[in-house]
Amino acid sequence: MSGDNSDRSAVEQQGVIDGRSIAPASKTEREQRQAADEFAHSKNSAGKNMRVKVYSPFRSYYDGQALSISAVNATGPFDILPKHHNFISLLSPCDLIVRTMKEGAKKIIISGGVMHVKADQVIVFLDV
């Protein structure tokens, strides 16, 4: 089992999802990813998940627990962590990243959408 964790860490450190490199383009993105990764592996993250649903009118992209979600709006890139204040935003075209404890990071390429955050629940409506 420890072999699985070390393999996952190596993949996460390389920034690879589904065989594609998603290396952060800027210092800010690298710092955000490092902070999210440190949170995910800290003792403080136990029991601190949030419910995330990402879907469009005809497809569900993700529905489950997550440690964080990263996206871009008109003011720039941002992250949502558990216990985030209530929040609603229009999303710009970007790579929406959902970080989970079990599955690692999931990248969803979006052309825009709406994100609503309330009481540790994040709902992202795409193609609206």
Average of per-residue pLDDT values in the chain: 80
pLDDT of residue 20: 45
pTM: 0.66
Which tens digits make up the pLDDT trace of 13-47?
Answer: 444 444 444 555 577 667 766 776 666 565 554 55
Task: Output the CA–CA distances (angstroms, integers) from residue 125 to 23, 61, 71, 88, 110, in the order listed.
Answer: 26, 10, 13, 11, 10
% of the chain with per-residue pLDDT over 70: 67
- Ordered structural domains, the chain, with CATH: 2-126 (2.60.15.10)
